């Protein structure tokens, strides 16, 4: 499709919704009848209400909680997602409410398989089913039948929501578990008995009912719901307005607004596509108006929006799963993610700024900028839910309790007003809940006062009140956003079960470390000059291991959600990097960061395709632009492997001086790489200058005095040439 910049009109809300629906996994792809739509909306709202209430009051036993969550996924996925994306239209006589009868049968089978674990947990004497404790490792025929049904259907809903790549990789893992004796070399193992395999994949603690589904059903869903409701109540617009005030007036203003607003928006959204559509609706047309090519404007938005999954405090599902894997409080993960997120946006911001300088693009005029006083006079109340969520989270309460308080206050701020007496039921109910928790010792006096004060302040929100229908629509949208991540978490649980059962993570980790050791031995001689050793073998082995893992992340990331990619690869990276002395949190953050980079790597980069739809540009070219914009930060994760102090909470400890040195080195390395990507710093750069800056940036990422001296020696000639070009009189055109 040839690129054209002819369409400059502002996209309507309906057009943006269609773009989000097409490129986001949350989109409802099958039209259903009015009656079925009403029923499904009721199911979605009941699904959200169940999770909301259990977060605030009490979670049921894990087998029931995850069973109910899976049941909701089966109902909504089979209702909305057809067998194929472009499935042939079935005759109406084979449908009920617009849903084909075979889909309804699969829906019922999925619900039965999901709830069977709860019903049979304490045994069913009438059916001869013993208590689950006695069946672990020795499943009966009912366990095998329902277990097989659940495994097949979980893979099916993952395929429907995310495509073929993830289910095929999971099938490969399953084949490895079942056919271990037929694999070569170190990968060979005795194999897992089929009945034992089904039992491990089906029962809680491992497999489908394992940690990934538990985290999504107890934490991630609530934060997704909070992000959608907070955005709809006005927090997203407040972010965009403030980003425009901060960055709009400077060189390449709209592009910098895109980066800053995506960083703000990333704090409440773990969805790259939702971030792209929400902020890109304003920033992409403004960038094109200023003179940026359409593909570049879309690439800027996609690259910036991808950072939402590593932007604290709400970092998508992977961060919560990381906390469970590392057995650390989620607040620790949030603190560790601060500098990686900062480095991500520095990389995008540097490329945007240098490209604007290269194209001589100006900022927005004063008339186009929002007024700070007007923005905050209108939108101050929208930050109450976010502040409340952060205060509760960092006060030591559970993540789902903080999400419960954030959702409650978002509803109050958006829908409750003194002028509408019936809506006062929202703050009254929440204040009653807070006081009940206080009297029971659940909340201390400070938290109680802050939450009650926030509920009262929210009533004075000057913005227009959201009607009940709009609120329910936001809840329904939040549920749809959670379908894909829920399906992925259930399916990837199979991978976790296989890794725990077979030990493949340690086997592949050994292959990585032994292979990198051989390569390091081969190239070490090139870095020894007489008695001087530039790089030790151990450093070269670590670097080669990181390169192998990074390439694996980027290659496997084509079509796999960040969460699923993180779970699969960290099981390999953790054992390999642990053998090389890398702290666990650094190796986990390394893999998560590359999972985000993989999201904007062609050919599968949905956020870039969504941005292309807004920019009316060539999708593939937009994806290339997004990836190019990310090149400056592709090696950034190396920094916090070589200098774990950048994560603040690493087991190696924190030293302010060491942190300042390492952070400065990493930032300068990213800026040098960005200059090499754009081909401009103080003036246009030739090929040699770009090569010198790229090499210096790569070396400076890993902070040490040796590497920094080499980087300085490489970049110095390029800087001198740049200064000379800047001082030289401008050449005549032609």
Express each pLDDT in 537-557 by its tens digit: 887 888 888 888 888 877 776
The string over 363-374, giving b where at least 16 C-beta atoms fall within 10 Å of a residue's C-beta and e elsewhere, is bbeeeebbeeee
Asked if residue 110 is part of any domain, the answer here is yes
- The C-alpha atoms of residue 410 and residue 269 are separated, in whole angstroms, by 14
- Is the pLDDT at 728 greater than 80, yes or no? no
pLDDT at 496: 86
Report whether pLDDT(709) > 80: yes
Q: Determine, yes or no, domain membership for 541.
A: no
Contact assessment for residue 483 and residue 25, using Cβ atoms and an 8 Å cutoff? yes
pLDDT at 15: 64
Q: Whole-angstrom Cα distance, residue 545 to residue 517?
A: 9
The per-residue pLDDT for range 673-700, each reduced to its tens digit, is 889 988 888 888 998 999 999 888 888 8
Q: Which residue has the higher pLDDT, 113 or 506?
A: 113
Specify if 261 maps to a domain: no
Looking at per-residue confidence, does 267 or 469 come out higher? 469
Q: Per the structure, how many domains does the chain have? A: 1
Query: Worst-scoring range by mean pLDDT, 318-322, 398-402, 719-723, 728-732?
Result: 728-732
Asked if residue 413 is part of any domain, the answer here is no
| pLDDT tens string 60-90 | 999 999 999 999 999 999 998 888 765 545 5
Per-residue pLDDT band for 171 (boundaries 50, 70, 90) equals: very high
Average pLDDT over residues 83-108: 77
CA distance 576 to 582: 9
Pairwise pLDDT comparison (21 vs 56), residue with the higher score? 56
Kindly report, residue by residue over 335-361, the tens digit of the pLDDT. 888 888 888 888 888 888 888 888 777
Between residues 13 and 428, which one has the greater pLDDT? 428
Contact 208, 152 (CB under 8 A): no
> Which string of DSSP letters, residue by residue, matches 373-419?
HHHHHHHGGGGHHHHHHHHHHHTT--HHHHHHHHHHHHHHHHH--TT
Of 198, 216, 218, 271, the closest CA to residue 26 belongs to 271
Q: Which two tokens stand for residue 381?
A: 């109340």
Residue pair 556/169 in contact by the 8 Å Cβ criterion: yes
Cβ–Cβ < 8 Å for 430, 412: yes
User: What pLDDT, on the 0 to 100 scale, is given for residue 262?
Assistant: 76
Distance CA 498, CA 477 (A): 33
Contacts of 371 (CB under 8 A, 6+ apart): none
Tokens of 505: 């993570």
Give the pLDDT of residue 5. Answer: 43
> Cα(682)–Cα(587) distance, rounded to whole angstroms?
36
Residue 731 has pLDDT above 50, yes or no: no
CA-nearest of 600, 598, 553 to 573 is 553
- Identify the three-state secondary structure at position 469: helix
List the one residue out of 151, 82, 49 whose CA is nearest residue 110.
151
Q: Which one is predicted more confidently, 65 or 638?
A: 65
Which residues on neighbouring strands pair with residue 100, listed in sequence order?
95
pLDDT of residue 2: 40
Q: What percentage of the chain exceeds 90 in pLDDT?
A: 28
> Strand, helix or coil at 206?
coil
pLDDT value of position 64: 95
Alpha-carbon gap, residue 354 to 588, rounded angstroms: 32
What tokens were used for 512? 């990585």
Q: Which residues contact 258 (CB under 8 A, 6 or more apart)?
A: 279, 280, 283, 284, 287, 300, 301, 304, 352
483, part of any domain: no
Are 201 and 462 in contact by the 8 Å Cβ rule? The answer is no
Task: Tell me the residue range of the domain where 86 lies.
Answer: 31-200
C-alpha to C-alpha distance for 551 and 555, rounded to whole angstroms: 6
What does the pLDDT look like over 586-634, one tens digit per residue?
A: 888 888 888 777 777 776 677 788 888 888 888 888 888 888 777 666 7
**Has residue 191 been placed in a domain?**
yes
Segment 196-213 mean pLDDT: 86
574-596 pLDDT, tens per residue? 888 888 888 888 888 888 888 77
| Residue 140 is assigned to a structural domain of this protein | yes
- Domain presence at residue 15: no
- Residue 26 pLDDT more than 80? no
């Amino acid at each position: 499709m040839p690129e054209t910049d002819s369409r400059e009109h502002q996209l309507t809300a309906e057009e943006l919704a269609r773009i989000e629906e097409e490129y986001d996994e949350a989109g409802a792809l099958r039209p259903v009848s009015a009656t079925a739509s009403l029923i499904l909306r009721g199911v979605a709202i009941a699904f959200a209400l169940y999770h909301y209430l259990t977060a605030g009051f009490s979670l049921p036993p894990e087998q029931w909680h995850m069973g109910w969550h899976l049941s909701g996924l089966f109902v909504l996925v089979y209702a909305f997602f057809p067998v194929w994306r472009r499935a042939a239209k079935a005759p109406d006589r084979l449908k009920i409410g617009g849903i084909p009868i075979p889909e309804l049968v699969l829906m019922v089978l999925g619900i039965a398989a999901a709830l069977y674990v709860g019903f049979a947990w304490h045994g069913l004497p009438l059916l001869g089913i013993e208590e689950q404790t006695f069946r672990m490792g020795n499943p009966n025929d009912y366990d095998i039948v329902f277990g097989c049904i659940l495994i097949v259907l979980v893979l099916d809903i993952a395929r429907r929501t995310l495509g073929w790549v993830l289910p095929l990789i999971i099938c490969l893992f399953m084949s490895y578990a079942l056919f271990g004796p037929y694999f070569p070399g170190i990968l060979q193992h005795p194999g897992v008995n089929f009945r034992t395999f089904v039992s491990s994949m089906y029962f809680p603690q491992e497999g489908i009912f394992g940690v990934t589904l538990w985290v999504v059903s107890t934490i991630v869903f609530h934060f997704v719901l909070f992000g959608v409701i907070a955005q709809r109540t006005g927090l997203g617009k407040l972010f965009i307005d403030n980003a425009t005030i901060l960055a709009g007036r400077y060189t390449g203003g709209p592009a910098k607004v895109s980066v800053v607003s995506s960083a703000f928006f990333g704090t409440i959204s773990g969805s790259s596509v939702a971030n792209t559509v929400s902020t890109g609706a304003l920033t992409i047309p403004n960038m094109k108006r200023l003179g940026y090519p359409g593909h570049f404007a879309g690439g800027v938005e996609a690259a910036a929006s991808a950072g939402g999954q590593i932007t604290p405090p709400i970092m998508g599902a992977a961060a919560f799963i990381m906390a469970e894997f590392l057995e650390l409080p989620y607040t620790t993960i949030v603190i560790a993610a601060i500098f990686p997120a900062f480095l991500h946006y520095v990389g995008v911001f540097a490329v945007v700024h240098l490209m604007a300088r290269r194209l001589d693009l100006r900022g927005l005029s004063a008339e186009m900028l929002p007024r700070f006083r007007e923005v905050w006079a209108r939108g101050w109340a929208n930050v109450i839910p976010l502040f409340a969520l952060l205060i509760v989270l960092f006060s030591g309460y559970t993540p789902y309790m903080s999400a419960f308080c954030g959702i409650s206050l978002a509803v109050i701020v958006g829908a409750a007003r003194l002028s509408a007496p019936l809506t006062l039921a929202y703050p009254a109910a929440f204040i009653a809940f807070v006081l009940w928790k206080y009297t029971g010792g659940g909340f201390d006096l400070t938290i109680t006062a802050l939450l009650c004060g926030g509920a009262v302040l929210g009533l004075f929100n000057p913005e227009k009140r959201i009607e009940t229908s709009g609120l329910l629509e936001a809840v329904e949208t939040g549920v749809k956003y959670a379908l894909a991540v829920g399906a992925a978490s259930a399916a990837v649980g199979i991978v976790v079960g296989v890794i725990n059962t077979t030990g493949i993570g340690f086997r592949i980790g050994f292959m990585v470390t032994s292979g990198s050791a051989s390569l390091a031995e081969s190239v070490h001689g090139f870095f020894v000059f007489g008695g001087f050793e530039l790089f030790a073998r151990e450093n070269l082995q670590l670097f080669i291991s990181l390169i192998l893992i990074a390439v694996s992340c980027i290659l496997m990331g084509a079509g796999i959600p960040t969460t699923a990619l993180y779970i699969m690869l960290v099981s390999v990276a953790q054992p390999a990097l642990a053998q090389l002395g890398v702290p666990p949190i650094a190796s986990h953050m390394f893999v998560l960061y590359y999972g985000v980079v993989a999201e904007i790597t062609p050919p599968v980069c949905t956020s870039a395709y969504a941005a292309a739809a807004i920019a009316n540009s060539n999708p593939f070219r937009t994806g290339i632009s997004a990836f190019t914009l990310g090149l400056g930060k592709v090696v950034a994760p190396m920094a916090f492997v070589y200098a774990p102090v950048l994560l603040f909470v690493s087991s190696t400890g924190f030293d302010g001086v060491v942190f300042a040195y390492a952070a400065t080195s990493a930032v300068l390395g990213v800026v040098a790489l960005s200059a090499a990507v754009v081909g401009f710093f103080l003036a246009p750069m030739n090929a040699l200058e770009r090569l010198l800056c790229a090499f210096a940036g790569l070396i400076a990422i890993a902070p040490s005095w040796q590497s920094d001296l080499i980087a300085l020696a490489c970049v110095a000639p390029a800087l001198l040439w740049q200064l000379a070009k800047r001082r030289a009189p401008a050449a005549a055109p032609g």
